[in-house]
Chains A and B, each alone.
Chain A
Amino acid sequence: MKIFSGKKPAVFQRAEFLSAKDMLQRAAAISVIFLMVHLAGFREYTGILNGTIGSLALGWNLSAFLAVIYIVFYLAFIVLVPVLVLAAIFLAVWQRFHGKSSP
């Protein structure tokens, strides 16, 4: 079975920087990480934005750390992922019309 062959599946193989595949891989990675921090409940700590502690048990520093992680990946998911996906589509279309295959 391929999974035991030691060879990475095509989707995980490193693509050329700023190629369509590279952009889609980055978008997927951001989405997966955001999904994880979202499901882990990091959203609850974002009260730090108005100066309220996220959790009395965790304290200011850890609450702020979790909030920053959530905010960074949320913004990346909302702003960056669609841009990466759109850019990948544009590149793929452009390359198709110019007869070049995606690296």
Chain B
Amino acid sequence: MKSRMKRTLAGLTALVVAALIWLPCLHLFFSKPVSNFRQAQGLSPKARELAARHLQLWTDPVLRAAELNKMRVSNAEWDFMGRSYLVWSLANMSLRDPASKPLYLRTMDQIIDETLRLEKSEGMYFFLMPYAKDRRYLAQPAHSLFLDGEIALMLASRRMVEEKPEYKPLLTDRVNAIVGRFQKSPKMLLESYPDECWMFDHCVALDAIKMADFLDGNDHSALIRNWIAMAKQKLVDPKSGILISSFEADGTPMAGPEGSSIWMVAHSLQLLDEDFARDQYQRARKGLGAITLGFGYAHEWPETWKGEANIDSGPIIPVFEISAGSSGMAFISASTFGDDKYLASLAATLDFAGFPSRTGGRLKYCASNQVGDAALLYAATLGPLWEKVKTGARP
């Protein structure tokens, strides 16, 4: 009996020692140099593989329909955002890899044209969640800043790579409409859903306005400056100092600071107010970002805020409080602000828990979806487009 207990104790001890050795080493099997994910010049291996998969989706209508239908069962927004992220990625890729520019431009045009066609034929609700129809938009006629901002940024990104005369009036009309609504709104807040405004959508729309100014020689810098001043004053969570993610049309907060929002917001702000953008990134990194045993991830809320899992956060993995949505979006901010340590640790987690699947040089993450992979592609390629606007090199 004593001998048996001794053997069991020896077995348990061996297991504990083995775990103490193995667990800290596990990340080494998934960690790669950050250049595997993102490079200063050209395209990283990961960007090429992810892009190959997306380009295949846009040349194979059956495959594309299957992917988009799976996402639309959960959230029609993802169908739309997957298009936006891919177009923005392809614009950056065109600047990084001029030899492939014709292919990228063709795909961008195909996505933009199809998106505009669907918006026109099916109406704006086609890309919104069903609850958009439950109430009436306060501002009439109804518009969603979510759609208008991202479409404007798609059009502007395409024109940044190479002018397309047909898109010039489309961008001008869309931007003028957004600006007009900003000017009419007493609080400078525009709805994405009825009486529901999103920080993410405002920042993307302001990026589009800034880019349109650059392209067409207009100046809405006062509008952008005033909006950011208002946001700093009224839309910041006082405890974390992080911009809140959603609010009513009168500015009443709806949700607090959220990872699924702030990482993209910080990236968008970089084009508008670099110091504020970096401040927001640093606060988000401190309050939401984490690295455990070499694996990077992100929480959806800082410790000072209690929220419930939703369609944006994705399921929250207990104990570590890992949010799939926030962790995915963290790639964009870490890449924007050159936080290589965090970016490499996020990439290690992605290869560990994202279930990569490679076929013929094409990469997808099974634990992700088309919009998730498109956001990752954007994180792997972003930079040149913002840089072009900031440095003033006109196309």
Contacts and interface: CB of A to CB of B under 8 A. Distances in A.
Contacts, number: 98
A82 B29 CA distance: 12
A94 interface: yes
Interface in A32-55: 43-47, 49-55
Contact of A103 (B7, B15, B73, B328): B7
Contacts of B324: 49-50
A80 to B, nearest CB: 9
Most chain A CB atoms below 10 A, which of B17, B324, B325, B366? B366
Which size class do B's interface residues fall under?
35 or more
Interface string B65-91: 010011101110010000000000000
Contacts of B78: 52
A17 interface: yes
**Prevailing SS type, chain B contact patch:** helix
A25 to B, nearest CB: 13
A91 B10 contact: yes
Contact of B23 (A18, A19, A79, A85): A79
Determine chain A's interface SS by DSSP, over half rule: helix
A90 B73 contact: no
B355 interface: yes
Interface string B298-341: 00000000000001001100000000110010000000000000
B366 A44 contact: yes
Contact of A83 (B22, B66, B69, B366): B22
When A and B form their complex, which 6 residue pairs have the shortest distance between CB atoms, in order from nearest?
Answer: A18-B11, A86-B18, A87-B14, A87-B18, A52-B369, A90-B14
